[in-house]
Amino acid sequence: MLTKDLWDELGPKWPKSYWDDWVRAPEQRNNRACIRPEISRTRTFGKKGVS
């Protein structure tokens, strides 16, 4: 989840693809840390990835 303030910062430049790589880049992280999601991402529902 993102706070409204963080979305206001990142939303206008959010990419259409590969957002997971983009959001981890130093320019976006800005010395912030990512925390582990509550739901495991080790399994997907689709037959193939979207990236």
CA angle 17-36-23, nearest 5°? 30
Is residue 20 annotated as part of the catalytic site, yes or no? yes
Give the helix ranges, DSSP H, for the chain. 4-10, 19-24, 26-29
Catalytic residue among 5, 8, 20, 21: 20
Task: Give the tokens for residue 7.
Answer: 């979305």
* Active site residue ranges: 20
